[in-house]
Amino acid sequence: MLAFISTLLIGITVGAIYSLMALSLVLVWRSTRVINFAQAGQAIFSTYVAYEVIQRTGNFILGMAAAVVVGALLGALVEVLLMRTLFKRIHSGAVAAVAPVIATLGLLGVIRASVGLIWGNDGHRFDAPVSTQAFSMGNTVIPFSRFNLLVIATAALVMIVFTVIFQKTSLGLSLRASAFAPEIARLSGIRVGSIRTIGWAFAGATGAVAGVLISPNDSLTPNSLDLLLIFGFVSAVIGGLDSLIGAVVGGLVLGIGKALILAYLGSSLDYPTAFVVLAIVLIVRPGGIFSMKRGRNA
């Protein structure tokens, strides 16, 4: 029983980080219909900024705050400079569907190379702000630390902030309206272009939080978030790709599913396990867990 709970807790911790990455991908997908592979690059750049700030100040929170700001700016910049230019030039056809995605892949390469130029390709390290020692009760050890708790709390905080913004504010309504029906949004006076930029900024900030949370006590390299991007993407697909709640649930399903498979079915391979979970979910629910149920159409 204790082993099961431990597995669950570990699953929830990694799942929370996947959820954040999935959220950042879904935020962009909803507003622009693009899978932003550059998100791994934006997040790694932001994480290096956090590393730099933590090195200089010793303050983790300051580092996180800097990463969030830089992540948001970077997200907005990518949308304004890259996406708008692309969409201005190509309007329809197969190329229009693929070009933006390829552009984000290219950008991922550019950002990784730049990070390598600035900080080098060797691993860097920064410490977690709180203990990563497993809790122990008597002589039983639960492989769950204060830092794991902090990760879950931070992810939960991000999700609460998003829930409030999306459900209770007129910015949130503008974001949702622009995502679902840009034309009706414009007819309602919403400046859809600016709203899309804000969506990308939110996505960038969320990706930065994910990057900073997953990196402590690990080796930080220009490629070290690539796997997170893939797991975030899988989580987003599990959640239906279009739904913010879906992204959160998808991340948790993937995190917990992976933890259970690794613990009970035994596999030394982290990577394929994610796709086993994805396959199981898509067999049961082909549209993802939170796929839009179309109601009546007439």
Partner 1 sequence: MTLTVNNLSVDHGAIRALNEISFTVAPGQIAAVIGANGAGKTTLLRTLSGLTHATTGQATWEGKDILGKKPENLVRSGIAHVSEGKSVIAELSVKDNLALGGIWRKDKKDVALATQEVLELFPRLQERLGQSADTLSGGERQMLAIARALISRPGLLLLDEPSLGLAPLVVAQIFQTLSQLRERLGFTLVLVEQNAMSALKIADIGIIINLGRLVASGKASDLSNDPALRAAYLGY
Among positions 237-296, residues that touch partner 1 (CB under 8 A) are: 292, 294-296
Q: Helix or strand or coil: residue 145?
A: strand
For partner 1, which is the closer residue by CB, 180 or 271? 180
3-state class of 213 per DSSP?
Answer: helix
Question: Please, what is the minimum distance in Å from the beta carbon of residue 205 to partner 1?
Answer: 24
Q: Tell me whether residue 77 or residue 173 sits nearer to partner 1 (CB atom).
A: 173
- Name which position in 110, 118, 181, 279 contacts partner 1 (CB under 8 A): 181
Q: Report the residue number, 118 or 164, with the smaller CB distance to partner 1.
A: 164
The answer to whether the beta carbons of residues 291 and 237 sit under 8 Å apart is no
Residue 253 CB burial class (10 angstroms; 0-12, 13-18, ≥19): buried
What is the distance between the alpha carbons of residues 174 and 267, in angstroms, rounded to a whole number?
A: 45
What is the distance between the alpha carbons of residues 175 and 163, in angstroms, rounded to a whole number? 12
Verify binding: residue 61, partner 1, rule CB under 8 A. Answer: no
Q: Does 92 bind partner 1 (CB under 8 A)?
A: no
Nearest distance, CB of residue 296 and partner 1, angstroms: 6
187 touches partner 1 (CB under 8 A): yes
Q: In the chain, what's the furthest Cα-to-Cα distance?
A: 66
CA atoms of 238 and 249, how far apart (whole Å): 8
Confirm or reject binding of residue 298 to partner 1 (CB under 8 A): yes
By the rule CB under 8 A, 184 interacts with partner 1:
yes
Helix (H, G, I), strand (E, B) or coil at 134: strand
What are the CA-CA distances from residue 46 to residues 75, 213, 215, 288 (Å)? 11, 12, 12, 30
Work out whether 177 is an interface residue with partner 1 (CB under 8 A).
yes
Q: Cβ 170 to partner 1, closest distance in Å?
A: 5
User: Taking CB under 8 A as the rule, does residue 27 contact partner 1?
Assistant: no
For binding to partner 1 (CB under 8 A), which residues are involved? 170, 173-174, 176-177, 180-181, 183-192, 292, 294-298
